[in-house]
Amino acid sequence: MTMSDDDILAPRRPRSGDRSRAPFSDTARGPIIDQEGHEIRSETLKEGLQEFRFDFGKDGQFTGNPFANLTREQRIARIEAIAKLLDVAFVLPGTNIRYGIDGLIGLIPIVGDIITTAISLWLVREARALGAPWYITARMLGNVAVDGVVGIVPFAGDAFDVMFRANMRNVRLLRRWLDKQPRV
């Protein structure tokens, strides 16, 4: 049985004897749950939706920055999480060797190494945005450069990526510098 164009644009209404489908309603059935598993009251949800809006600047272009509202600790946690994902997220079964998606993406010749180097450079940029001095960022850039240049070599470079862990080294450098800074 084929559907006509009218049925696609305006779905058929159930016949009077067809009670197999439940009527559609706009109200939610049951509680609304957030990502942590806590129930959200409908009043809170309505208030939040009224305050939710996009920031459109001149000429109707979106000017909002989705990362602008993060605190310093949240940015540090994000850097650490990405570094762990890149370098030590998985364990090679039967061994104690840890690797991350840096080693997996690096298996794609040239393009994979460019992608992972770009992500590593973004982490260095984030560290600089957190106020890391030039000598810390220079060491971080050195680690990324070594990882990127040696990573280009097929297979041996990928093994080096797994063992060198440039992103974890960079997070350690940043964390040591942050620990020496006075708390504000």
Q: For the packed helices 166-180 and 156-164, what is the interaxial angle rounded to 10 degrees?
A: 20
Distance (Å, whole) CA 72 – CA 178: 11
Digit-by-digit pLDDT tens for the chain (184 residues) are 555 555 445 555 555 555 555 554 555 566 666 655 667 676 665 555 554 455 555 555 555 555 556 788 888 999 999 999 999 999 989 998 899 999 899 888 889 999 999 999 999 999 999 889 999 999 999 999 999 999 888 888 888 988 999 999 999 999 999 999 887 6
> pTM, whole model, 2 decimals?
0.62
Per-residue b or e along 64-92, where b marks 16 or more CB atoms closer than 10 Å to that residue's CB: eeeeeeeeeeeebeebbebbbebbbbeee
Query: How far, rounded to the nearest angstrom, does the alpha carbon of residue 151 sit from its chain's CA centroid?
Result: 23
Q: Which two tokens stand for residue 141?
A: 């850039």
* Helix, strand and coil percent figures for the chain, each rounded to 5: 55, 5, 40
Cα distance between residue 127 and residue 124, in whole Å:
5
